[in-house]
Structure 1
Amino acid sequence: MTRRAALAGGAAVLAAPALAQPGWPDRPIRLIVPFGAGGAIDTLSRTVAARFPDHANGQSLVVENRPGAGGAIAGAFTAQQRPDGLTLMMADVGANCIAKEMNPGLGYDPMTAFAPIIHLVSLPGALIAHPDVPYRSAAEIIAAAKERPEGFTFSSAGNGNGSHLFMELFLKRAGIRMVHVPYRSGAEMVTALVRGDAQFGFPTVSSALNMVRDGRARAVAVSWPDGTPLLPGIPPLAAELPGFNCSVWHGIVAPAGMERGMVLRINEVFGKIAAMPEVAEAVFRQQAGRMVGGSPENFADFIRRDHETWAPIISEGNIRSQ
């Protein structure tokens, strides 16, 4: 896959026609972000917010960070707002897909509490190893782990984080086990691996890239079936485990109950932003990601499929929020 192909997603974005609510927005809109400033989802949100006035009657998109509980604090807040188009959320798998599985006592159901608007971006993950680990392919890791059950450790950025779920999916598909060592953030996770406190990890490609390039970690495989041009020569896990395909994803959701015309109008605005070449370039450069786009129905179907992937992983592993 070429770098040009990685950026082509922006040109292929599908935006719904403006069937109603052409006056939206007529005032600033707030975008709830489920994690703190400076992280990948915050960076994406601010990239989108910078272009929002160009397609939204000159109105601003105000990023409001509400971190905590793996995104559930932001999710619960957004779910309680009026579906009037004034409060939107930058969605992710935790707050908007699996929060109920992670915390059965959660006060909202992610599968019914939101109106999916548009799938904005997908980011690939990379299976990485400490440089002292002698195994250089997924097949070698699987064979060694079968000989030494629970003889290996992996770090993650916390229970239910993408770096945790990706590894759990790999272990399940491969029929192997490893000891999970959760940390509080992606930075702590990769630091632990570089120190040798864990042997493996499954961060996003953007989180792993500098470590891999300077030799502090070794990339073994990537989560996308067509690989990524930022890690040339690194094979997809699908080459060893056919059908393996997972991503960190983000998109726009609103509180449930939003009028259909409003949903389509908001989809149109964010679809135009997603189709901007400079946005696709920024997302690729900063996060190794691809713009996605599409209709509200596309995004709703995607979230349902992702829930079907992760819900049994969480249930079988008895994974709960930290």
Structure 2
Amino acid sequence: MEHKIDRRTFGALLAGLAAGPTFAAKAAFAAEDATAWPTRPVRLVVPFGPGGAVDTLCRAFGQRFAEFANGQPLVIENRSGAGGLVAGSFVAGQAPDGYTLLAADIGANAIGKELNPKANYDPMTAFTPIIQLANLNAVLVENPNVAQKTVQEIIATAKKDPNGFTYSSAGVGNGSHLFMALLERDAGIRMVHVPYRSGAETVLAVVRNEAQFCFPTLSSALPMIKTGGVRPVALGAGPSPILPGVPLMRDILPGFEVAIWYGVAAPAGMDGALADRVNAVFNKIAALPEIRKMVEDVQGGVVVGGSRQQFAAFIKREYDRWTPVIRGGGIRVE
């Protein structure tokens, strides 16, 4: 079954892409002294709406940013749409001066060109990878009214009726979409996909029974798990103390292990010394005990950190892993 984005959302994408990257502005850019950065507020563009896992993560980093960045604030700007391509296109066209950064994710920074061949930027060349912030465990959840309570039961029922189940995601090509597409591929099933604009909306769709399943971050689903609005079925990565006893996907489908990752990227062409300076600031924040506690205890994930070269290599591995899933599933933003 081909996965497509609705006309209204695609229209928003086209509007964002029509402006195109401001290459003239980038050409005219003159790098400032990396040791002086930043001398004014820094903008971090989040590819999804407020309230989701990446928005929460970025705002937590933003609360401590000024302490390590010459007293300058990190301003969060939400630009949702088209699985991250709207935000990615915008940031790709900015000057690589360190004052407009992107909250990197798989759609905007790895597989966006596979999702939309007509996109006006290539995620693999349009950015300077800065740092991988965190990997967040994901959880397959379902509406409590669903009779099938295990992955095995869901698969068996879906094989009998390919159009019987609907799942929600935070957008075409988002991790929550790809995880379900991987489940479809590995289990040999099909479901109906309905994209939303954020992890929070994705879970609410299941609570309202607009969709029966979704595969969001654990942090996005946890409030509704606690209230009984959704029921956890299986964890995407390793076990979590937040949800003890919940089965692991890898124990049901060998090799199936997934987590949603987020990082920071800058427009391509950033001076190496400046990129190292930005990386160092975010690494200092990532090392704070309160940040690690928030990611582990609240978001059900792990802080990653590390060098920008390590992040670049990770993005390449993600591209290689998910491209066959995208092509095999006919996943397109068009």
Is TM > 0.5 for Structure 1 vs Structure 2? yes
Match for residue 232 of structure 1?
244
* Of 278, 283, 293, the match for 2:290: 278
Aligned equivalents of 1:57, 1:139: Cα separation in 2: 53
The 3-state SS of whatever aligns with 2:36 is coil
Aligned equivalents of 1:259, 1:191: Cα separation in 2: 42
Aligned equivalents of 1:274, 1:104: Cα separation in 2: 35
Match for residue 66 of structure 1?
79
* Of 113, 125, 131, the match for 2:144: 131
**What letter corresponds to residue 127 of structure 1 in structure 2?**
L
| Equivalenced residues, count | 302
The 10-residue stretch of structure 1 (283-292 or 240-249) with the greater mean CA deviation from structure 2: 283-292
**What letter corresponds to residue 75 of structure 2 in structure 1?**
V
Instruction: Answer whether contact 2:138 2:236 (CA < 8 A) is retained.
Output: yes
The 3-state SS of whatever aligns with 1:238 is helix
The 10-residue stretch of structure 1 (184-193 or 28-37) with the greater mean CA deviation from structure 2: 184-193
Deviation at 1:256, TM superposition (A): 1.0
The 10-residue stretch of structure 1 (142-151 or 213-222) with the greater mean CA deviation from structure 2: 142-151
Match for residue 160 of structure 1?
173
Match for residue 56 of structure 1?
69
Deviation at 1:300, TM superposition (A): 0.8
Query: CA RMSD for the aligned pairs?
Result: 2.2
Match for residue 261 of structure 1?
273
2:52 matches 1:39: yes
Deviation at 1:141, TM superposition (A): 2.4
Taking structure 1 as reference, are residues 205 and 82 closer, same or farther at Cα in structure 2, changes over 3 Å only?
same
Match for residue 24 of structure 1?
37
**What letter corresponds to residue 244 of structure 2 in structure 1?**
P
**What letter corresponds to residue 195 of structure 1 in structure 2?**
R
Deviation at 1:148, TM superposition (A): 4.0
Aligned equivalents of 2:294, 2:223: Cα separation in 1: 17
The 3-state SS of whatever aligns with 2:35 is coil
* Of 108, 114, 127, the match for 2:121: 108
Taking structure 1 as reference, are residues 176 and 49 closer, same or farther at Cα in structure 2, changes over 3 Å only?
same
Aligned equivalents of 2:37, 2:200: Cα separation in 1: 39
Question: Equivalent residues in 2 for 1:139-150 (5 A)?
Answer: 139-150=152-163
Deviation at 1:112, TM superposition (A): 0.3
Instruction: Answer whether contact 2:53 2:220 (CA < 8 A) is retained.
Output: no
Deviation at 1:285, TM superposition (A): 4.3
* Of 184, 195, 210, the match for 1:171: 184
Match for residue 118 of structure 1?
131
Aligned equivalents of 1:284, 1:119: Cα separation in 2: 15
Question: Equivalent residues in 2 for 1:285-300 (5 A)?
Answer: 285-300=297-312
Aligned equivalents of 1:38, 1:150: Cα separation in 2: 30
Taking structure 1 as reference, are residues 61 and 186 closer, same or farther at Cα in structure 2, changes over 3 Å only?
closer
The alignment's TM-score, normalised by the length of structure 1, stands at 0.85
**What letter corresponds to residue 142 of structure 2 in structure 1?**
A
Aligned equivalents of 2:86, 2:45: Cα separation in 1: 10
The alignment's TM-score, normalised by the length of structure 2, stands at 0.83
Match for residue 12 of structure 2?
none
Aligned equivalents of 1:28, 1:221: Cα separation in 2: 41
Aligned equivalents of 2:305, 2:36: Cα separation in 1: 22
Match for residue 212 of structure 1?
225
Aligned equivalents of 1:231, 1:205: Cα separation in 2: 9
Taking structure 1 as reference, are residues 183 and 25 closer, same or farther at Cα in structure 2, changes over 3 Å only?
closer
Deviation at 1:74, TM superposition (A): 1.9
The 10-residue stretch of structure 1 (48-57 or 23-32) with the greater mean CA deviation from structure 2: 23-32
Taking structure 1 as reference, are residues 159 and 85 closer, same or farther at Cα in structure 2, changes over 3 Å only?
closer
Aligned equivalents of 2:284, 2:196: Cα separation in 1: 37
Match for residue 11 of structure 1?
none
**What letter corresponds to residue 110 of structure 1 in structure 2?**
P
The 3-state SS of whatever aligns with 2:181 is helix
Match for residue 314 of structure 1?
326
Taking structure 1 as reference, are residues 72 and 318 closer, same or farther at Cα in structure 2, changes over 3 Å only?
same
Match for residue 201 of structure 1?
214
Taking structure 1 as reference, are residues 174 and 268 closer, same or farther at Cα in structure 2, changes over 3 Å only?
same
Residue deviations 1:103-155 (CA, integer Å, cap 9, x gap) = 21111101100010100011121111222333332233223333444433323
Aligned equivalents of 1:32, 1:298: Cα separation in 2: 22
Deviation at 1:310, TM superposition (A): 2.0
Taking structure 1 as reference, are residues 80 and 45 closer, same or farther at Cα in structure 2, changes over 3 Å only?
same
The 10-residue stretch of structure 1 (163-172 or 143-152) with the greater mean CA deviation from structure 2: 143-152
2:92 matches 1:79: yes
* Of 235, 239, 259, the match for 1:247: 259
Instruction: Answer whether contact 2:44 2:77 (CA < 8 A) is retained.
Output: yes
The 3-state SS of whatever aligns with 2:328 is helix
